[in-house]
Structure 1
Amino acid sequence: MRIGEIIRQYRTEHGLSLRAFASQSNISPSYVRKLEMDVENKSSITIPKISSIAKAMGLTPDELLAAMDDTTVDLRPEKNPLPANIIPVPEMKKVPMLGAVACGEPIYMDEVRGEYYPMDSSIHADFCLRAQGDSMTGARIYDGDIVFIQSSPVVENGQIAAVAIDDEATLKYFYQYGDTVVLRPANAKYEEMTYSREDLDHLRILGRAVAFQSAL
């Protein structure tokens, strides 16, 4: 099992957020996120970090190592470790701004050329959109927030998706039942948007929301 899978399973069983587990194990939240998202098992982990994670889980390093049958361990000592009170800034990347996406009625989407927003490089996002309106406040997405999108023509039921309707775009919970697509808001004052078979040619999934940056 990968170390990221072990951490995620532990957090789920103990009701811990990623940030809470990072604090408990004395490593950065960005590093914990990197381990959990490393589905292709490309990352290695050092013995000192294994010891910190094991201690946070109430295990010995040997017990944790025994469970890690699918993770590369870097046996080299860590060089110049940071003091405990200093957290390294996560590696960042720039994501292009595509335009605005409606949290309410669909709005026309313009590409904003040359505008980029920084985000943690461990999160896979291909572009971002600026939310407009209040239909997704129940999902903690407010007017003016920047929503980061992973491009995909298909999303799972219940995921928040950016969907283009002709030349307009909206951000909603996505559901598909046979030949019917339902776009569901996260604010009770808005109604669902339902599209049947004859409407689907006008509808295109841009991708799934993977992160947001609050405008507040």
Structure 2
Amino acid sequence: MLGERIRTLRKKMRMTATELARRVKTSPSHISEIERGEKTPSLNLLVKIAKELQTSIDYLTGLEGFSKKALNVTEVALLDQASVTAAGKALDQTGVYPVVEEMIYVPEDALGPVGDIPPFAVRISGESMIGAGITDNSIVVINPNAEVGQGDVALVSIGNEWTVKYIYTKADGSLELRPANPSYSPIFFDKEDLISGLVKVIGKVVWIIGKPKKEF
């Protein structure tokens, strides 16, 4: 149903698969696979296709394979590549001001509480969190208002650098940043590092293209 409806609406608008692919930033072959029912688009891609075809995601899917709850989406700003965060070697952020590359779409129920600082997204560089489902060049959504628990994945600033790691707070107030790749070593900071502001947990990773895996 999904693929057939996309193809029907696209042809009604006299739009080629190549043109639709260009507008939604994917490949023509991927659009063709979706229309033939061989692939299912990600939520983010589905929203973009619906917008270009001037319809709703409810109509395109008929809710088949998608829950109604998941179709309630929120726009989140994806920061440009200059603001890329690191999941390997932390990236120097000195003097870099975030610029929005594009808006992406995230299920509302995935974000958690929303406060004064809105959720935002960044691209990942490195493979230290590959075991958490976060690969090089993937996109992660950060919610500064969500509570970060033991073993959660979070974005952390270390001086003027950003990195994504599993978070563990020790009884003495110290902090362990643990990678999800045995090729990388944990990083430890004492309580004074947190009090001084040298190290700061910016926010919880609440969504990737997929969902982050909590370490148990």
**TM-score bucket (shorter structure):** 0.5 to 0.7
- Ranges in structure 2 where 5+ consecutive residues have no aligned partner: 1-62, 112-117, 211-216
Q: Percent identity?
A: 28
Does the Cα contact within 8 Å between 2:76 and 2:119 map onto a contact in 1? no
The 3 A distance-change label for structure 1 pair 193 and 166 is same
SS of equivalent to 2:84: strand
The 3 A distance-change label for structure 1 pair 212 and 126 is same
Match of 2:104 in 1: 118
Match of 1:21 in 2: none
Match of 2:203 in 1: 207
1:29 is matched by which residue type in structure 2? F
Q: Does 1:157 align with 2:150?
A: yes
The number of equivalent residue pairs is 136
1:25-78 CA-to-partner distances (Å, cap 9, x unmatched) read x655342447xxxxxxxxxxxxxxxxxxxxxxxxxxxxxxxxxxxxxxxxxxxx
The 3 A distance-change label for structure 1 pair 33 and 189 is same
Whole-Å separation in 1 of the counterparts to 2:145 and 2:73:
24
Match of 1:177 in 2: 170
1:141-199 CA-to-partner distances (Å, cap 9, x unmatched) read 11111111111385111100000011101000000013210000000010000001232
Q: Does 1:31 align with 2:68?
A: yes
Which structure shows the higher strand fraction?
A: 1
TM-score, length-normalised on structure 2? 0.55
- Ranges in structure 1 where 5+ consecutive residues have no aligned partner: 1-25, 35-89
Whole-Å separation in 1 of the counterparts to 2:67 and 2:199:
35
Q: Does 1:101 align with 2:85?
A: yes
2:193 is matched by which residue type in structure 1? D
Whole-Å separation in 2 of the counterparts to 1:120 and 1:197:
34
Does the Cα contact within 8 Å between 1:180 and 1:194 map onto a contact in 2? yes
Whole-Å separation in 2 of the counterparts to 1:197 and 1:120:
34
Report the Cα offset of residue 91 of structure 1. 4.1
Structure of greater Rg: 1
1:118-159 CA-to-partner distances (Å, cap 9, x unmatched) read 113523271011101110001111111111111138511110
The 3 A distance-change label for structure 1 pair 154 and 113 is same
The 3 A distance-change label for structure 1 pair 91 and 177 is closer
* Of 129, 141, 148, the match for 2:141: 148
Whole-Å separation in 2 of the counterparts to 1:106 and 1:160:
15
TM-score, length-normalised on structure 1? 0.55
Match of 2:26 in 1: none
The 3 A distance-change label for structure 1 pair 167 and 95 is same
| Moved segments of 4+, more than 6 Å | none
Report the Cα offset of residue 96 of structure 1. 4.0
The 3 A distance-change label for structure 1 pair 166 and 152 is farther
1:207 is matched by which residue type in structure 2? G
2:98 is matched by which residue type in structure 1? V
Does the Cα contact within 8 Å between 2:106 and 2:207 map onto a contact in 1? no
RMSD: 2.7
